[in-house]
Amino acid sequence: MDWVPMGSCAHSRPQPNGIGSLRTSTGAGYDGHIMISTPLSAHARCMPVLMSAAPAETPVLTEDPETHTMLSVPWNVIVWDDPVNLMSYVVYVFRSYFGYSDAKARKLMLEVHHNGRSIVASGTLEEAETHVSALHGYGLWATYERADHN
């Protein structure tokens, strides 16, 4: 088998099945060095390797105060009125999950009952998603929305 020196193009040399080889240090070679044959495509054999000793430029990050990401905008967790859950159960969920006092849990439950919905918590998008998922686990109808969409 012919050996193709690294960095040279093998198009002019005949190769078995059109496949070239790469010199590495894992097998006994004819010049005392260790060599292995690794198939390379014709394109890869002729690709120049470009390297630079120059340090990479560090990008300068600037923050535009008018640009907000979806994560930086506050999100509201909304519980919706449903015909299934008892009012006492909704109070229980608000007290056990959020740790609200009995008075606050009852106030939020009455908002849900009379207005059809209540904002029960606010926070980051990830927190809102977590709360909604937990409230679904309790069997409540809950969603989240951006706080500026009230």
Tally of domains within the chain: 2
Q: What CATH number did the domain enclosing 91 receive?
A: 3.30.1390.10
Instruction: Say what the pLDDT of residue 129 is.
Output: 97
φ/ψ bin of 131: left (φ > 0), alpha (ψ from -120 to 50), beta (otherwise) = alpha
Q: Which residue has the higher pLDDT, 148 or 39?
A: 148
The string of pLDDT tens digits covering residues 39-92 is 555 555 555 555 556 666 766 656 555 555 655 789 999 999 999 999 999 999
81 and 126, same domain (yes or no) = yes
One-letter-per-residue 3-state SS of 61-120: CCCCCCCCCCCCCCEEEEEECCCCCCHHHHHHHHHHHHCCCHHHHHHHHHHHHHHCEEEE
- Quote the pTM value: 0.54
Q: Is residue 35 part of a domain?
A: yes
**Structural domain of 82:** 75-149
Evaluate whether residue 65 is within a structural domain: no
Residue 84 sits in the same domain as residue 141: yes
Kindly state whether residues 85 and 145 are assigned to the same domain: yes
Is residue 21 pLDDT above 80, yes or no?
no
Q: Give the whole-number percent of the chain exceeding pLDDT 70.
A: 51
